Structure 1
Amino acid sequence: MTRPACRGMDPEIFFPISHAGPAGIRETEQAKAVCRACPILAGCLAEVVADPPEFGVWAATTPEERRRIRTRSALVKAA
């Protein structure tokens, strides 16, 4: 079975204080880099879009990015 890239890492990396400003952007990008290198990224993304966590970086997405994905998905289904 393939292991997620985040397994065994300090979870703090995935919960930056903010996603804005130089420090927040840097911290968010560090977390996203771990996700982008993950062998199970696609499966993780499907899960977090279906049942999005309120906080943190999951599947290389921020809460705002997950909201946009869900909105687009809902619009496509409605069309």
Structure 2
Amino acid sequence: KYSMGRVGELKDSLTAVEFAEYCKKVLNLRGLRLIAADNQKPVKRVAVLGGSGGRFFNAALLHKADAYVTGDISYHTGHDMIAA
């Protein structure tokens, strides 16, 4: 069975804000966009898909991911993700 993305678990849970800051630091980014209904939500299980992965966020939900990291999410898809 093949897939494009990966799902894994962090050693320790972080809040959504802490996880975003961690990603920013580890990936050496000047900025990133956090889309979250609750910035303090615990993040343990993470799904990752490079590129424009907006249309695949349902796969992250199916894998019970607490966070989804991808290269590009449209405005409307971001709202769909918050509502899911």
Greater strand fraction, Structure 1 or Structure 2: 2
Q: Please state which band the TM-score falls in when normalised by the shorter chain.
A: 0.3 to 0.5
Greater helix fraction, Structure 1 or Structure 2: 1
Name the TM-score, length of structure 2 as normaliser. 0.31
